[in-house]
Chain A
Amino acid sequence: MNNLIIEKTHSTPGIVFDTETGVLEIKGESFPENVPKFYGPVIEWIKDFLNSTDKEIVFNFEISYFNSSSSKILMNIFDYLEQQVSEGKNISVIWRCDHENESAVECGYEFKEDLDLLPFVVEIY
């Protein structure tokens, strides 16, 4: 399966999903004009990849600013990962944020609160 690499733009995050290492990174700001159009293929890729492997997967999210539609998509992704963990997959999420970005820190804890099975770490630097 091919790696997924999407260049960062001013309104969409950069994406580097490496099938070799199992490290999937989403980094930047997220306020696309058309959220489903941007994230649709990303979610499809994640689903295909998780169906094809049992290796340990680490998601690194470092999203400094995101709009409401993006937050909905992120919750959909986390729910999906939670379901995968319940089915035995080894997946964890690291939500990285700058200590000065209080909104990103608070939102990280908001996401974490809804998750029971998926390991979700808010890492503040």
Chain B
Amino acid sequence: MDNIFADEEQVISTAEDLISANQFASDVDKRHYQALLKSYKNLLKHTKRIVKMSDIIQLESRNLSNKLQIASQTDALTGLYNRRFFNEVYPMEWKNSFRASTSLGLLMIDVDYFKKYNDTYGHLQGDDCLIAIAAQIKKAVKRPRDVASRFGGEEFIVLMPDTDYRGAKVIARRIMARVDSLVIEHSASAVSDRVTVSVGIACIIPDEGNSMVDHLNMVDTALYDAKGSRNCFRTYSPPESSVK
């Protein structure tokens, strides 16, 4: 057997033979054609069945592929986007902002004294704390193009196209207020009796003279500044030596 459609081809070949034999004695013809018709109907039934089964399997593959795509973009613990998704979206938004000469905003959020929180309340409660904070970040970030992701550990990052420092500060305040309103007890914190966050803010209009790495370093520096005091936000300010 070298062809899975050998039966179909045999039917066609028989039909061709019959026609070229040019013997159309009525009763014989009738039986021949009835037999051919029966065979071909059965083979056609096969073909239809194959198509139907392929459709079933393709639909399942499609659904599975959608689920995988969502899973590959989502942080399993918090349900926010994950860092991989951020890494996909950030370059696209960078290019968009570059073309439109608009300000691209980043917020980097870190949970204050989170290691101490874990040490005090245990890792399971630490996970619950991250889940609760992530939910508040998600609620605070409302525009469809804004992307809130878990950056790693207790760090979150929010990407906000078309956002300058004024707008970014509004979101930072909103996140801090929402986290504060959770009133999650944190007896080991040096700045509050409840869980708080520090937020770094960096906004930039992408151009030939800057890069995504610069932008990420800026927001990292701003977060570092905020963590000097904790439970606050800080905008990026260039180091003294680079101020012209």
Contact = CB atoms under 8 A, between A and B. Distances in A.
Contact of B46 (A39, A43, A75): A75
Interface in B35-73: 42, 45-46, 49-50, 52-54, 56-57, 60
B193 interface: no
B56 A114 contact: no
Interface residues of A, number: 23
Contact of A103 (B3, B4, B46, B60): B60
B53 A68 contact: yes
Of A39, A106, A111, most buried by chain B (CB within 10 Å of CB) is: A106
Given A103-B56, A103-B57, A114-B45, A39 B1 contact: yes
B7 A68 contact: no
B1 A36 contact: yes
A81 to B, nearest CB: 14
Contacts of A40: 1
Nearest to B3: A36
B2 interface: yes
Contact of A107 (B2, B3, B7, B53): B53
Number of contact residues on B: which range applies? 10 to 19
B1 A71 contact: no
A73 B2 CA distance: 12
Interface string A58-76: 0000000100110111011
A35 B6 CA distance: 13
A110 interface: yes
A98 interface: no
Contacts of A79: 42, 46
Contacts of B45: 114
Nearest to B49: A110
B60 A72 contact: no
Nearest to A36: B1
B1 A72 contact: no
Contacts of B4: 35-36, 69, 72-73, 76
A70 B42 CA distance: 17
B56 A71 contact: no
A48 interface: no
A102 interface: yes
B60 A102 contact: yes
- Residue with the greatest number of chain B CB neighbours at <10 A, chosen from A72, A102, A111: A72
A102 B60 CA distance: 9
Interface of A: 35-37, 39-40, 43, 65, 68-69, 71-73, 75-76, 79, 102-103, 106-107, 110-111, 113-114
Interface of B: 1-5, 7, 42, 45-46, 49-50, 52-54, 56-57, 60
13 contacts: A39-B1, A43-B1, A65-B57, A71-B54, A72-B5, A72-B50, A73-B4, A103-B56, A103-B57, A103-B60, A110-B53, A110-B56, A114-B45
Given A37-B2, A113-B49, 13 more contacts: A39-B1, A43-B1, A65-B57, A68-B50, A68-B53, A71-B49, A71-B50, A72-B50, A75-B49, A103-B60, A107-B53, A107-B57, A114-B45
